[in-house]
């Protein structure tokens, strides 16, 4: 341990272990070894990393010796998969009991969840259609919109008269094909 600097492992974690370590041999053996390992980790890594490791070890010691005190092997920490499966089953049972005790709350909760899922699905359908799917053309990345500059006003516009479109069609040598669409200002639909 780093006695010069006076640094020690987290005091709360040590108290947690002291609450279950009953004999002096257990206390000095386990706690002494963990303090030495904490000091070694403190030199190699940061203080936070060493403290987190020490807390993890303190929790393991607590559960192990608590189980021995109770003579109950089911109090030992379980594997992460078994723990998550058991926790999920407990959560489902608790939710069902709560919903059965309060049917009005259950109806409101189920309606809220249903509306949320429906709204999310509808919004995703629109976003997928409009933004995510490719255009229904052979090479959509090669499509361009053609505009022209109005000499009198100096503005750029994509609006063409049918005569301008015919002139553009006759003069376009750098385009493979040209197409036009009809758009009326103020209407949401575009007739392609």
Which has the closest alpha carbon to 49: 38, 62, 36? Answer: 38
Residue 119: pLDDT band (50, 70, 90) is very high
| Percent of the chain residues past pLDDT 70, beyond the cut | 78
Residue 1: pLDDT band (50, 70, 90) is very low
What is residue 124's predicted lDDT score, i.e. its pLDDT?
A: 94
For the question of whether the overall pTM of this predicted structure is more than 0.75, the answer is no
Q: What is the pLDDT of residues 142-155, one digit of tens each?
A: 888 777 777 777 66
Going from the C-alpha of 156 to that of each of 149, 150, 153, 161, 184, the distances in angstroms are 4, 6, 9, 15, 18
Burial of 63 (0-12, 13-18, 19+ CB in 10 A): middle
Q: Is residue 72 scored above 60 in pLDDT?
A: no
Phi-psi region of 71 (alpha: psi -120 to 50; beta: other; left: phi over 0): left
Query: What is the average pLDDT score of the chain?
Result: 78
Q: What is the pLDDT of residues 73-92, one digit of tens each?
A: 554 455 555 556 777 888 88
What is residue 122's predicted lDDT score, i.e. its pLDDT?
A: 95
Round to whole Å and give the CA distance between 161 and 166: 9
Q: What is the pLDDT of residues 158-173, one digit of tens each?
A: 677 788 888 888 887 7
What is residue 64's predicted lDDT score, i.e. its pLDDT?
A: 78
Stronger pLDDT, 192 or 129, i.e. the higher one: 129
Which has the closest alpha carbon to 138: 112, 173, 186, 176? Answer: 176
Buried-state track 118-144, b at ≥16 Cβ within 10 A, e below 16: eeeeeeeeeeeeeeeeeeeeeeeeeee
Residue 4: pLDDT band (50, 70, 90) is very low
> In sequence order, which residues have a C-beta less than 8 Å from that of residue 34 and are 6 or more positions away?
9, 17, 54, 57, 58, 61
What is residue 192's predicted lDDT score, i.e. its pLDDT?
A: 47
User: What is the β-pairing status of strands 148-149 and 156-157?
Assistant: antiparallel
Beta bridge partners of 157: 148
> In sequence order, which residues have a C-beta less than 8 Å from that of residue 143 and are 6 or more positions away?
135, 137
């Amino acid at each position: 341990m780093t006695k010069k600097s006076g640094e020690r492992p987290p005091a709360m974690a040590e108290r947690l272990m002291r609450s279950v370590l009953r004999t002096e041999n257990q206390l000095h053996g386990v706690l002494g070894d963990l303090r030495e390992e904490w000091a070694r980790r403190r030199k190699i890594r940061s203080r936070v990393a060493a403290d987190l490791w020490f807390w993890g070890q303190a929790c393991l010691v607590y559960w192990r010796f608590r189980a021995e005190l109770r003579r109950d092997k089911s109090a030992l920490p379980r594997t992460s998969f078994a723990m998550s499966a058991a926790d999920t089953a407990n959560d489902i049972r608790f939710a069902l009991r709560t919903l059965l005790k309060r049917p009005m709350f259950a109806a409101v909760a189920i309606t809220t969840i249903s509306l949320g899922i429906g709204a999310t699905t509808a919004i995703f359908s629109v976003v997928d259609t409009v933004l995510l799917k490719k255009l229904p053309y052979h090479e959509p990345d090669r499509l361009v919109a053609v505009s022209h500059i109005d000499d009198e006003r100096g503005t750029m516009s994509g609006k063409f008269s049918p005569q301008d479109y015919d002139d553009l069609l006759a003069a376009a040598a750098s385009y493979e094909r040209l197409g036009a669409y009809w758009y009326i200002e103020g209407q949401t639909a575009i007739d392609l």
